[in-house]
Amino acid sequence: MIIDGHNDLVLHRWRGEASPHLDDLDAARAAGFAGGFFALYISSPHPSDPPEVPYALPLPDPIPFEQAAPVAEELYATLAALPVRRATSADDFAAGEITAIVHMEGAEAIRPDLSNLESWYERGLRSIGPVWSRANAFASGVPFHFPGSPDIGPGLTDAGRGLVRACNELGILVDLSHLNEAGFWDVAGLSTAPLVATHSNAHALCPASRNLTDRQLDAIRDSGGLAGVNFAVTFLRGDGRRVPAETGIDEIVRHVSYYAERMGVDHVAFGSDFDGADIPHELGGAAGLPKLLDALRAAGFDDAALAKITHENWLRIFRATWR
């Protein structure tokens, strides 16, 4: 059973287009994919093809609540129409089933006074990233730079600090992926829950601004949290190049191994970014997940370690975070 930290299937279905990695849910299920975080992501216009490295992409303009809220409703309806179960408890996951966590990637659809947060919780919201990189009422995200540091810009706003406290009280996971480093440390100082970055890689191996420094990884470990390894080639490769045909599964294994060595295997998971990023052609999509497990076995991960990485660590986090 494989629980995954991030996918963007909902966005593609909302747009009425085929998705590159999860279009065939039956094939994904047969490969062991048991679901995970299904993002409600309100997209911004941004370059589809990152320039040659080095690069420093400008972030899109903020999206106001009044514009974001109706789109989020449509995305939620799209998710509700998928042939998957929805999770509000760790016990909702089962082998042979696909179960979706309602995840909001960027909190633009939450009012800054948080007056609609509880109603979203009642509808199944169990994970929220305060930002998707672009700034909003809650925080500043991390721009896409290579090479670059995540230490760019200010941290949480007063509304952002209120959001973290409210999520702790309700039992909503706060996702640190896409937050800049100042925001990361603000959450670390406030949150009573384990720290989680659902789809971010090791900055020591790939110096993209979206990746996590060793100090951040240590804080995640010390909180009892976890980080999901992102399969995006630009966050895997040491040279930051966008060349999925030239990038092997071994690059994913490299980051999983680094996480396991730095934090311990109890703090490592998958955060594929299926349907939201260019991933190694060798993997192909969710149907190729058995290839990744074979590569991890070849790298020395035994069945007990793989069980933790593929699902047990996520289930532990859900039990520790959700109410």
C-alpha–C-alpha distance, residues 309 and 299, integer Å: 14
Domain covering 2-321 assigned CATH 3.20.20.140 in the classification:
yes
Q: 């986090």: which residue's tokens?
A: 317
Query: Which class for 181: exposed (0-12), middle (13-18), buried (19 or more C-beta within 10 A)?
Result: buried
Closest CA to 212 of 259, 264, 298, 150: 150
Predicted TM-score of the model (pTM): 0.97
Q: 């294994």: which residue's tokens?
A: 253
Q: 């900055």: which residue's tokens?
A: 203
Question: What 3-state DSSP class applies to 313?
Answer: helix
72: tokens are: 């989020």
pLDDT at res. 45:
73
Closest CA to 210 of 219, 220, 218, 200: 200
Phi, psi of 251 (to 5 degrees): -70, -35
Q: Where are the beta strands (DSSP E) in 247-304?
A: 268-270
Yes or no: say if 288 and 24 are a contact pair by the CB < 8 Å rule. no
- Residues of the chain short of pLDDT 50, as ranges, are none
C-alpha–C-alpha distance, residues 189 and 183, integer Å: 10
